[in-house]
């Protein structure tokens, strides 16, 4: 039987709506589900959206691709589940409720009442549920909204714990360490998705901290930072080899600071530049043997690297024609983008744009029983000017060029270890 001709006077939008109405009247989605119920299973759970925000055009694109995959497997005679879901966890929900209440931060949430706050979050998470369902219906994205999974329900949470228990029983879980970004306002770690929500330039307070030298506590290095939360893991102080440093005495305490910044650092309401300057240094005041007149330096990090691994890496590199250079950093297979200041400092010291690891990471690795390889293999692919600012694109390009050599070195070391 031939299909009836469409009314040429109808717009494309009207034709689509007419076809959607016919599919709904015929219960076409339910009938396809029933027809393939006993076919080979193809389990599909919708990657759940957070329904406290409206859908956008990018959701149309993603859902169209998902629908094509599900329809293809349905045409193969497979039983496709097409389970809808709602993501009810995460900071977007909490931040939306904070805005609604006119509060901000963990302390104000606790003052308002965690139980009341959680109740509002459960209500708010479905604020635009109807919009999401209408979008799915309008683009003919078939999902089972009558039996969705909801991530805040006990059934879902208990299922996640059950899956974790199965992984544990199969010895697929292990205890380790991972560095995560932390939000002091929210009092929680941030996921990569939450961190990528966007950055905002704000004017904020900075912190000046003094680090007394172990051999002479009355001599203190003055440090300035806009990220005071990193001080908890701080194990070293960096100085610039080309700057002039001054030592200024106030009430029996000597403060070491870059001379050109002395007028901007105040102790007891007085600028250090107005205090008595008792010493000055051209270059790095901390460079020298451990027993020099400046007292003990920070630990020599080269001792943290496993000597056997370094010797093995040198042998592998020689056999494979890979250029090696020693250094106090860890070789890894991807770009680790440090801050601009750290990047320039490490480049000036001869470090590469690939595999720059911070001192706390190395110390943590050693204390957890890991053997750390402290070598770098890139000498001919560095950026031309070590002190020139580099774009992220340049850093990534160098990292990608370095990856084959890094892979060959690590692969060769692992082969010899096995």
- What's the CA dihedral at 173, 179, 182, 187 to 10 degrees? 40
Whole-angstrom CA distances from 17 to 20, 79, 126, 133, 292 are 5, 27, 26, 15, 84
Q: Which residues contact 125 (CB under 8 A, 6 or more apart)?
A: 50, 51, 52, 86, 88, 93, 152
The mean pLDDT of 294-303, rounded to a whole number, is: 47
Instruction: Kindly tell me the sign of the dihedral angle through the C-alpha atoms of 53, 54, 59, 63.
Output: positive
The answer on pLDDT for 77 being more than 50 is yes
Local confidence band at 93 (pLDDT 50, 70, 90 cut-offs): confident
Q: Would the pTM of this model clear 0.75, i.e. be above it?
A: no
Q: How far is it, in rounded angstroms, from Cα 169 to Cα 165? A: 6
pLDDT at 242: 74
d(CA 231, CA 209): 9
- Tokens for 71? 């329809």
pLDDT, one tens digit per residue, over 226-237 is: 777 777 666 667
What number of helices (H) and strands (E) belong to the chain?
13, 15
Say if CB 379 and CB 356 are below 8 A apart: no
Range with the lowest mean pLDDT among 1-5, 113-117, 396-400? 396-400
Locate tokens 């859908």: which residue? Answer: 55
pLDDT of residue 285: 53
The C-alpha angle with vertex 367 and arms to 411 and 312, in degrees rounded to 5, equals 30
Which bin fits 369, alpha (ψ -120 to 50), beta or left (φ > 0)?
left
Taking the alpha carbons of 128, 130, 131, 135 in that order, is the dihedral positive or negative?
Answer: positive
Give the separation between CA 53 and CA 61, rounded to whole angstroms.
Answer: 17
C-alpha–C-alpha distance, residues 225 and 208, integer Å: 7
Q: Which residues of 402-415 are buried (b: 16+ CB within 10 A; e: fewer)?
A: beebbebbbebbee
Q: Which of 253, 243, 264, 263 is nearest to 221 (CA)?
A: 253
- Using a 10 angstrom Cβ sphere, with 0-12 exposed, 13-18 middle and 19 or more buried, the burial of residue 106 is middle
pLDDT for position 350: 46
As a whole number of angstroms, the distance between CA 93 and CA 116 comes to 14
∠ CA 156-160-166, rounded to 5°: 140
DSSP string over 99-147: HHHT--SHHHHHHH-HHHHHHHHHHHTTTTHHHHHHHHHHTT---EEEE
At 303, the pLDDT band (50, 70, 90 cuts) reads: low
Cα angle vertex 153, ends 152, 157, to 5°? 80
Domains in the chain, CATH or no CATH each = 12-169 (3.40.50.620), 207-282 (3.90.740.10), 301-417 (3.40.50.1580)
Q: Over the stretch 351-377, which tens digit does the pLDDT of each residue have? A: 443 344 445 555 555 666 666 666 554
CA distance 44 to 143: 10
Instruction: Give SS3 for 98.
Output: helix
pLDDT-based confidence at residue 343 (cuts at 50, 70, 90):
very low
Question: Quick one: which of 299, 363, 285, 298 has its CA closest to 330?
Answer: 363
Contact criterion met (CB below 8 Å) for 108 and 97: no
Locate all alpha helices (DSSP H) within 285-391, ordered by sequence. 307-320, 340-348, 359-367
**How many residues are listed for the chain in this entry?**
418
The model's pLDDT over 169-199, given as tens digits with 9 standing for 90+, comes to 999 988 766 667 778 778 888 877 777 666 6
At residue 388 the predicted structure's pLDDT band, cuts being 50, 70 and 90, is: very low
**Using 50, 70 and 90 to split pLDDT, how confident is the model at 86?**
very high
């Amino acid at each position: 039987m031939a299909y009836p001709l469409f009314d040429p006077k109808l717009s494309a939008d009207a034709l689509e709506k007419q076809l959607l109405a016919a599919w709904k009247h015929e219960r076409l989605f339910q009938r396809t589900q029933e027809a393939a119920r006993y076919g080979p299973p193809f389990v599909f759970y919708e990657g759940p959206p957070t329904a406290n925000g409206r859908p956008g055009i990018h959701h149309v694109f993603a859902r169209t691709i998902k629908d094509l995959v599900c329809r293809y497997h349905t045409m193969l005679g497979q039983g496709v589940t097409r389970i809808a879901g709602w993501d009810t966890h995460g900071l977007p929900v909490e931040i939306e409720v904070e805005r609604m209440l006119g509060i901000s931060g963990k302390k104000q949430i606790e003052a308002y009442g965690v139980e009341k706050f959680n109740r509002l979050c459960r209500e708010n998470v479905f604020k635009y549920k109807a919009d999401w369902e209408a979008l799915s219906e309008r683009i003919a994205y078939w999902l089972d909204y009558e039996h969705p999974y909801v991530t805040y329900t006990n059934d879902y949470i208990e299922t996640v714990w059950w899956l974790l228990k199965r992984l544990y029983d199969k010895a697929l879980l292990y205890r380790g360490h991972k560095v995560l970004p932390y939000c002091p306002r929210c009092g929680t770690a941030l996921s990569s998705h939450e961190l990528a929500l966007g950055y905002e330039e704000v004017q904020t307070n900075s912190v000046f901290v003094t680090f007394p030298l172990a051999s002479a506590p009355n001599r203190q290095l003055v440090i300035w930072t806009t990220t005071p939360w990193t001080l908890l893991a701080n194990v070293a102080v960096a100085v610039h080899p080309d700057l002039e440093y001054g030592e200024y005495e106030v009430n029996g305490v000597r403060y070491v600071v870059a001379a050109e910044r002395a007028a901007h650092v105040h102790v007891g309401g007085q600028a250090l530049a107005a205090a008595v300057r008792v010493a000055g240094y051209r270059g790095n005041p901390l460079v020298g043997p451990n027993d020099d007149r400046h007292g003990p330096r920070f630990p020599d990090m080269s001792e943290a690297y496993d000597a056997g691994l370094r010797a093995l890496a040198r042998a592998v590199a020689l056999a494979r024609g890979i250029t090696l250079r020693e250094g106090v950093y860890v070789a890894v297979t991807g770009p680790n983008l440090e801050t601009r200041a750290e990047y320039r400092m490490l480049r000036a010291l001869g470090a590469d744009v690939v595999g720059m690891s911070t001192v706390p990471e190395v110390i943590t690795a050693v204390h957890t029983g890991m053997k750390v390889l402290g070598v770098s293999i890139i000498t001919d692919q560095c950026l031309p000017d070590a002190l020139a600012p580099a774009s992220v694109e340049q850093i990534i390009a160098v990292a990608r060029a370095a990856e084959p050599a890094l892979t060959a070195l690590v692969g060769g070391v692992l082969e010899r270890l096995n």
